[in-house]
Structure 1
Amino acid sequence: MPIQQIHADIEQFFNAYCLAYNQQDSQGVARLFAAPSGIAQHGQYTHFANPDTTAKNMHELCQWYAKQGFLQANFKINHLFLQGTQHAIADIAWQIERKQQAPWLFHTTYNLIKTSQGWLILLCTAYEESFT
């Protein structure tokens, strides 16, 4: 598979991921994670052993976003590191628009794996979180 096609597939993956968040579709977000998978943030690691634990976490996250005045998410792929044709690391800059508040700006890196279901997240690491 040509490198340009892999880049396009991964960008399409993140468009679907962002759309699921914008629709507050926690099940849709959860389906984009491998099982097992996890998230690292604030010096802690949360392990998602199976699809149910991932779905529960994403449901809670979408509820938290709603309480924070979530309007919509936007992203930009800063860096994409291909590791063969079935693995990649993507560094994403996120901007979360919120009601009557400044946007929330942060970065996340994603370790991705290509499966029979398409690209999935193995690990995401959120960093440089700040409110402006």
Structure 2
Amino acid sequence: MTTQQIHTEIEQFFNAYCLAYNQQDSQSVARLFARPSGIAQQGKYTHFSSPDATAKNMHELCQWYAEQGFLQASFKINHLFLQGSQHAIADIDWQIERKQQAPWLFHTTYNLIKTSQGWLILLCTAYEESFT
């Protein structure tokens, strides 16, 4: 597989990830995480040891987004660091549009692994969050 093909696959992965959030489909979001996996943000780490733990967290996150006036998410891949053909680190700029409020702007770095199911998230780290 060429580097360009891997880049294309990863961009398609994030398109699916963003679409799942835009549809507020927490089950689809959760299926894009490896088992185990985790999220680091604001100095805390949340470990997902099972599919149920991931699904519960994503459900709560989608509910919280809805309560905050979520309209849609969009992203831009800033950097993509390939680590062979089965591992990568992606640094993403996110923008969350909200009803009658300024958008949220933040960055997230994703450690990815390619499995028989395709690309999955091992760890995401949210940083430089600007919730105005």
Q: How many residues align?
A: 132
TM-score by length of 2: 0.99
Aligned equivalent of 1:69: 69
Identity of aligned residues (%): 89
Query: 1:125 and 2:125 equivalent?
Result: yes
CA distance in 2 between partners of 1:131 and 1:118 (Å)? 32
CA distance in 1 between partners of 2:131 and 2:52 (Å)? 31
Q: Which runs of 5+ in 2 are unaligned?
A: none
CA distance in 2 between partners of 1:52 and 1:65 (Å)? 20
After TM superposition, give the deviation of residue 96 of structure 1 in Å.
0.1
SS at 1:84's partner residue? Answer: coil
CA distance in 2 between partners of 1:77 and 1:19 (Å)? 15
Q: Which runs of 5+ in 1 are unaligned?
A: none
CA distance in 1 between partners of 2:43 and 2:103 (Å)? 23
Q: Deviations over 1:81-117 (max 9, x none)?
A: 0000000000000000000000000000000000000
Query: 1:88 and 2:88 equivalent?
Result: yes
SS at 2:45's partner residue? Answer: strand
Pairing 1:4-83 to 2, within 5 Å after superposition: 4-83=4-83
After TM superposition, give the deviation of residue 131 of structure 1 in Å.
2.7
Q: Deviations over 1:42-86 (max 9, x none)?
A: 000000001100000000000000000000000000000000000
CA distance in 1 between partners of 2:42 and 2:96 (Å)? 18
CA distance in 2 between partners of 1:74 and 1:93 (Å)? 8
Runs of 4+ residues over 4 Å off in structure 1: none
CA distance in 2 between partners of 1:105 and 1:131 (Å)? 7
Letter of the 1:78 counterpart = N
CA distance in 1 between partners of 2:84 and 2:67 (Å)? 40
TM-score by length of 1: 0.99
